[in-house]
Chains A and B, each alone.
Chain A
Amino acid sequence: MTRLEKKERFTSGHRACGGCGLALGARLAMKAVDDNSIATCATGCLEVTSSPYPQSSWKIPWLHSLFENSAAVAGGVEAALRAKGKQDINVVAQGGDGGTVDIGMRSLSGMLERGHDVAYICYDNEAYMNTGIQRSGSTPMNASTTTSPAGEESFGNENRKKNALKIAAAHNIPYVASASVAYPDDLIEKVKKANEINGPTYVQIHTPCPTGWGHEGDITVKLARLAVETGLWVLYEREEGEIKDVKKIKDRKPVEEYLKPQKRFKHLFKKEGGEERIQEIQEIADSNAEKFHLDEE
């Protein structure tokens, strides 16, 4: 007997790269929904790797929307089910960070605002990986991508990662949570909760990408864990507006440990002035630690 639910609703044979954090995230998230669920999926890596026509990796009804309207389609599905009196069916909307924090932000905002009973899951691999690693609003500062390349004049992405969790929370929805593929129990519990709560909910899962971040596939989970242990990705829940259940960190690690194995941050360790940029990233982790009282005494 496996400790986590044995049943796979996102099954093998999908075309995601070896060591894909997103595929792992989707597989775990699907352990948190029951068979009586309908999922939508924005365009992106998750969609192309799981639905190479005429095959599908999904074992629940699944709809590919457009890039920008996963939340709107899910809202429509939920409204139709409600009109038909079938409120026992869960509706889950899914999208990558590009399809959520940039292109799908308008439809996500509308869905949250209208109060649909939909759990939205954002798989955050911090750039447009499916189309060739272009920068998204969720790309962290100083990361090199194909549209924010590090070079003589640049240290990569100039902007701070967009805080989509806070944007979702600003809609006064009942539940917002961050999760990570390195903590499966926590991830499953949060997606379950998001499904059970009546009304719109939002969960953002941090999913390392070997291809886009430039690391070996075997350290996907290790990197996801380091993001949490350095304070760069904070695991918390926000229920009815109140921050709850922050995962405390014992002996917070320096951000270098997280940055160094990734090619997208390689320039920070080679280029003159890189040290200051690493310091900038350390300050983000420190300010997270202060805001969320991360450090365990």
Chain B
Amino acid sequence: MPNFASIAKPGTTENYKTGSWRVYVPVLDKDKCIGCERCWEFCPDSSKIEEEYEGDTIFRTDLDYCKGCGICAEECPVDALEMELEEK
């Protein structure tokens, strides 16, 4: 073994759910979403998931990792996202 700390498995921080950090949660109006992917592009936590809704592409939030920073709501060109205080 080399004399340094080595981590054999890639991408293992995915085992740590940063969603518990969240105070505000992005709430999506699926009918407003135009699937432009801006929220996905600008998410520092890769926590937007592409899915289909009534034949169109939308991006929903992956609540396992979303830290609730609100960049997605701020950058959404059609105001389809609203930050709301999350009831836990």
Binding site for B on A (CB under 8 A): 2-4, 6, 8, 10-21, 23-24, 27-28, 50-60, 181, 184, 210, 216-222
Contacts and interface: CB of A to CB of B under 8 A. Distances in A.
* Chain B interface size, under 10 / 10 to 19 / 20 to 34 / 35 or more: 35 or more
A221 B44 CA distance: 10
Q: Is the contact region of chain B dominated by helix, strand, or loop, or is it mixed? A: loop
Q: Is the interface of A mostly helix, strand, loop or mixed?
A: loop
Contact of B18 (A13, A27, A54, A181): A13
B7 A23 contact: no
B50 interface: yes
- What 3 A-B pairs have minimum CB-CB distances, sorted nearest first? A218-B70, A13-B13, A19-B69
30 contacts: A6-B50, A8-B46, A12-B18, A13-B13, A13-B65, A15-B13, A16-B44, A17-B67, A18-B45, A18-B67, A23-B45, A24-B42, A51-B7, A53-B5, A55-B12, A55-B16, A56-B11, A57-B11, A57-B13, A58-B10, A58-B11, A59-B10, A217-B67, A217-B71, A218-B73, A220-B44, A221-B42, A221-B71, A221-B74, A221-B75
Nearest to B22: A18
A18 B13 contact: no
A50 B71 CA distance: 20
Contacts of B41: 4, 28, 184
A20 B45 CA distance: 9
Contact of A220 (B12, B15, B17, B69): B69
Contact of A18 (B7, B37, B64, B69): B69
Given A13-B15, A17-B67, A181-B42, 10 more contacts: A12-B45, A13-B18, A19-B67, A21-B44, A23-B45, A24-B43, A54-B7, A56-B7, A216-B70, A218-B74
Most chain-A Cβ atoms within 10 A of its Cβ — which of B13, B16, B50? B13
Given A12-B18, A24-B42, A27-B44, A218 B11 contact: no
Contact of B13 (A21, A28, A56): A56
B14 interface: yes
Given A184-B42, A222-B74, A55 B15 contact: yes
Given A2-B50, A24-B44, A14 B74 contact: no
B46 A27 contact: yes
A10 B44 CA distance: 10
A206 to B, nearest CB: 14
A213 B36 CA distance: 29
B7 A59 contact: no
A6 B37 CA distance: 11
Contacts of A4: 37, 41
Contacts of B44: 16, 18-21, 23-24, 27, 220
B40 A2 contact: yes
B9 interface: yes
B28 interface: no
Contacts of B9: 56
B74 A219 contact: yes
B16 to A, nearest CB: 4
